[in-house]
Amino acid sequence: SSRLDSEVEEALLSPSLPGTLGREGDTPGEPPTVVRFDDVSKVYNGATTKAVDGVSLDIRAGEFFSILGPSGSGKTSCLRMIAGFEQPSSGRILLDGVDVQGIPPYRRDVNTVFQNYALFPHMSIEANVSYPLRMHRVAKHEIAERVAETLALVEMEELRMRFPHQLSGGQRQRAALARALVGRPKVLLLDEPLGALDLQLRQQMQLALKQLQRDVGITFVYVTHDQGEALSMSDRMAVMSAGHIEQVGTPREVYFHPNTPFVAGFIGKANLGRGTVVLESGAAVGHWGGISFPMAADTPLGPCAFSLRHESVSLSDGAGDITVRGTVEEVVFLGDSSEVMVAVDGMTLVAKAPAHIGFALSNGQAITASFKATEVVRIDG
């Protein structure tokens, strides 16, 4: 669309020439914050709900930072406010410590890779990639040098004379990346950039993107609804739901210590339910359905939510310290594994089991499941 084209051009005209690669941080030892959301909300014209609702966030120099959330949770809106295509309704966005309100996209040291690549169809790949430098009237020899360097970075040197329609989806994506990187923006914004690729290519590109980001040291803000992508590539990630941030942390923190039932349910596959923690003979004990298990001594008492990952529930003898008896309700074959639903004391516990174990089970059969008490996560609320 023409709106998109003009956005692409604006985004490509970011002012960061010559490059800011390898710039030292403002505070020795601590990477500076390059993107800050300060209580940012966004209400679109005519909308009754906030697309973005009180988001505060610090993204540091050199980070691969992902924003993960389901469709409609406000990820793209956040990205577009960083780029300057949308304005916050309230709150502030700071780039490199400067409030960017009123600063147009082309004057922000930020570039965007769009999901649909948005390459100029009538230009060769080389012309596409050199375009931002030509617009900035960079000297010819420097353009040649930087285009060559950037095409090498994305392994597209051989294809530089081709036109976009002569490339595969993955190649187009790499060309779009090169065009966004050639001006060496301080921050690269990527909005579901691999969404149009098939699974295998997507996984290859995930690795390539992560390596590329490490090589160039540019801060990446990566929007995706795909948890696998966020978990495998990010240094840190924010999980969004309905316009607000549920949790910010490293992939490990978010995966193993979800702060909210939403995060526990959205990332990975987990048994989720309500229960309570009570003091019994001086020790904290969790009760969840008919199951009880010891909790750490400092666990807050009272009602809470519990989460236990499918892969934390074992159907082999002696794997966990808490053993429950139940019956097989259902077995779902997933290819590399099976999901086994076990009816236990009025609740269903789902176990991720090796496929061959799933094959050997039939509905209604008695079964013993076990888990480690330490793998049960207590969640507020």
- Which lies closer to Mg ion via its Cβ, residue 76 or residue 312? 76
b vs e for 60-98, b when ≥16 Cβ sit within 10 Å of the residue's Cβ?
bbbbbbbbbbeeebbbbbbbbbbbbbbebbebebbbbee
Give the pairing of strands 236-241 and 270-280.
unpaired
Residue 75 interacting with ligand ADP (CB under 6 A): yes
Site for ligand ADP in 34-63 (CB under 6 A): 44, 47, 51
Residue 76 interacting with ligand ADP (CB under 6 A): yes
CB 248 within 8 A of CB 57: yes
- Which lies closer to ligand ADP via its Cβ, residue 25 or residue 72? 72
CB 222 within 8 A of CB 64: yes
Task: Calculate ∠ Cα 278-279-283, nearest 5°.
Answer: 125
Stretch that binds ligand ADP, among 72-80, 156-164, 302-310, 353-361 (CB under 6 A): 72-80
Residue 77 interacting with ligand ADP (CB under 6 A): yes
Residue 69 interacting with ligand ADP (CB under 6 A): yes
Q: Which of ligand ADP, Mg ion, none does residue 112 bind (CB under 5 to 8 Å by kind)?
A: none
Q: How far is the CB of 256 from Mg ion (least distance, A)?
A: 27
The residue from 2, 27, 71, 362 that contacts ligand ADP (CB under 6 A) is 71
Q: Which of ligand ADP, Mg ion, none does residue 72 bind (CB under 5 to 8 Å by kind)?
A: ligand ADP
Residue 76 interacting with Mg ion (CB under 5 A): yes
Burial label for 52, CB within 10 Å (0-12, 13-18, 19+), is buried
Q: How far is the CB of 87 from Mg ion (least distance, A)?
A: 18
Q: Which of ligand ADP, Mg ion, none does residue 247 bind (CB under 5 to 8 Å by kind)?
A: none
Q: Which of ligand ADP, Mg ion, none does residue 152 bind (CB under 5 to 8 Å by kind)?
A: none
- Conformation bin of residue 70: beta by default, left when phi > 0, alpha when psi is -120 to 50: beta
Stretch that binds Mg ion, among 47-55, 73-81, 156-164, 356-364 (CB under 5 A): 73-81
Token duo for residue 209: 């993107």
Q: Which of Mg ion, ligand ADP, none does residue 48 bind (CB under 5 to 8 Å by kind)?
A: none
Residue 74 interacting with ligand ADP (CB under 6 A): yes
What is the largest distance, in Å, between two alpha-carbon atoms of the chain?
79
Q: Which of 371, 370, 290, 365 is nearest to 329 (CA)?
A: 365
Whole-angstrom Cα distance, residue 270 to residue 254?
13
The residue from 33, 41, 66, 73 that contacts ligand ADP (CB under 6 A) is 73
Q: Which of 238, 231, 225, 213 is nearest to 40 (CA)?
A: 238
Whole-angstrom Cα distance, residue 142 to residue 90?
42
**Total site size for ligand ADP, rule CB under 6 A:** 11
- Which lies closer to ligand ADP via its Cβ, residue 79 or residue 305? 79
Q: How far is the CB of 56 from ligand ADP (least distance, A)?
A: 17
Whole-angstrom Cα distance, residue 296 to residue 110?
45
The residue from 31, 72, 91, 294 that contacts ligand ADP (CB under 6 A) is 72
Token duo for residue 2: 């023409």
Q: Which amino acid is at 331?
A: V
- Which lies closer to Mg ion via its Cβ, residue 156 or residue 239? 239
Q: How far is the CB of 199 from Mg ion (least distance, A)?
A: 20
- Which lies closer to Mg ion via its Cβ, residue 114 or residue 288? 114
What distances in angstroms separate CA 138 from CA 32, 144, 146, 183, one per listed residue? 28, 10, 10, 10
Q: How far is the CB of 44 from Mg ion (least distance, A)?
A: 14
Binding region for ligand ADP (CB under 6 A): 44, 47, 51, 69, 71-77
Site for Mg ion, rule CB under 5 A: 76
